[in-house]
Amino acid sequence: MPFDVSLYSIQAVIVLDNAGKRLFAKYYHPPHGQATDELATNEKKQFSFESSLFSKTYKQNSDIILFENKVVVYREFADVIIYMVGDLNQNETLMYNVLQGLVGALEIILRNQIDKKSIQENYDMTILAIDETVDDGIVLETDPSVIASRVSKPPTEDVANIKIDLSEKGLLNAFNFARKNISDRLQQGF
């Protein structure tokens, strides 16, 4: 067995819906290195990989499969499946821990509702959670609450940029603004 000592341990994270359609897919390769696996760069291969993977795993509920010389761990939910893909010699339990971390974090963020609807509605938080779990193939964190705690919620309101200031000074400002405008217009001969 060749001892793989690199930290790049996750090759891809994929989220598919219950028809095998891609909700999210990211195939990792080192940002400053060459991708060794064609799967990482060839988009056509990726789609066919996903569709055959889906047909092998949909409604199987068996958590792990060896597929096209890769170890794939996955979790199936009501209408989505979350996959994590690694090298054939990768430690299966390590990968599963990473997957569990991501799934746990999504449960927190999506309030225990991991399904297609909430993933699409909260896509920003979902991708942040994935980004906080795996950084281009390197495992960043496996604890669900820590991952979730790194994911920010979207800003609540687009506060209108003209703030209405009701303090004394604010009223004075408004008064001065109005006075200036009116006197301008009067001077122009209105």
Partner 1 sequence: MSTHTYKKFEDIDSGTLPDKMTVYQECLQAFNASPIHAKRCRLLLSRLLRLLYAGETFPKTEATNLFFSTSKLFHHNDSSLRQLVYLAIKELCSLSDDILMATASIMKDIQGGDILYKPNAVRTLARVLDGSTIHAAERAMKNCVVDKNPNVSSAALVSSYHLLPVAKDVVRRWTNETQEAISSNKVFPQTQYNMHEHYGANKLLTATYTYQYHALGLLYHLRDHDRMALMKMIQQFNTQQPLKSSLATVQLIRYVGKLIEEDSNLTQTLWPFFPGWLKHKSDMVELEAARTILSLPKFLPEQQMQAINTLQTLLSVPRTVTRFAAVRILNKIAMKSPEKIMVCNLELESLINDANRSVSTYAITTLLKTGNSENVDRLVKTISGFMDDISDEFKIIVIDAIKTLSLKFPDKHKSMLNFLNDVLRDEGGFNFKNAIIEAIFDIIKFIPQSRELALEMLCEFIEDCEYTELAVRVLHLLGEEGPKTSSPTLYIRHIYNRVVLENSIVRSSAVIALSKFALIGNDSITKSIKILLERCLQDVDDEVRDRAALSLKLLSTKDIEQAKDFIAPTFKYSLPVLEQQLALYVNNPDKEHFVHPFDIKAIPTMTEEEAKAAEFKEKTTIYDEPTAQAHESSPEEEKVPDSTKLALLQQQYAQELGAIPEIAAYGRLLHSSAVVELTEKETEFVVTAVKHIFENHVVIQYNVQNTLTEIQLEDVSIVAQPDNEDYSEEFLMPLDVLKAGSSGSIYVSFTRPEGIVPAVFGNTLSYTTKDVDPSTGEPAEGEEGFPDEYQVEDLSIVPGDYVVPAFTGNFTHAWDELQNESVAVFNLGDAATMDLQDVVLKLVKTMSMMPAESTDVVTSGSSHTLKLYGKSIGGDKIAAVVRLASSSKGMMMKSQVRSSDPELSELVANYVE
Q: How would DSSP label each residue in 96-116?
A: HHHHHHHHHHHHHHTTT--SH
- The distance of closest approach from Cβ of residue 185 to partner 1 in the complex, given in angstroms and rounded to an integer, is 27
Nearer to partner 1, 3 or 190 (CB): 3
- The distance of closest approach from Cβ of residue 18 to partner 1 in the complex, given in angstroms and rounded to an integer, is 10
- The distance of closest approach from Cβ of residue 170 to partner 1 in the complex, given in angstroms and rounded to an integer, is 19
Q: What is the rounded distance in angstroms from the CA atom of residue 15 to the CA atom of residue 21?
A: 9
Nearer to partner 1, 145 or 176 (CB): 145
Nearer to partner 1, 154 or 189 (CB): 154
- The distance of closest approach from Cβ of residue 47 to partner 1 in the complex, given in angstroms and rounded to an integer, is 7
Q: What is the rounded distance in angstroms from the CA atom of residue 75 to the CA atom of residue 28?
A: 20
Beta strands in the chain (DSSP E): 12-17, 22-27, 64-67, 70-76, 80-87, 134-135, 138-139
For 67, phi then psi, to 5°, come to: -140, 125
Nearer to partner 1, 58 or 97 (CB): 97
Nearer to partner 1, 111 or 169 (CB): 111
- The distance of closest approach from Cβ of residue 57 to partner 1 in the complex, given in angstroms and rounded to an integer, is 10
Label residues 11-46 b or e (16+ Cβ within 10 Å = b): bbbbbbbbebeebebbbbbeeeeeeebebbeeeeeb
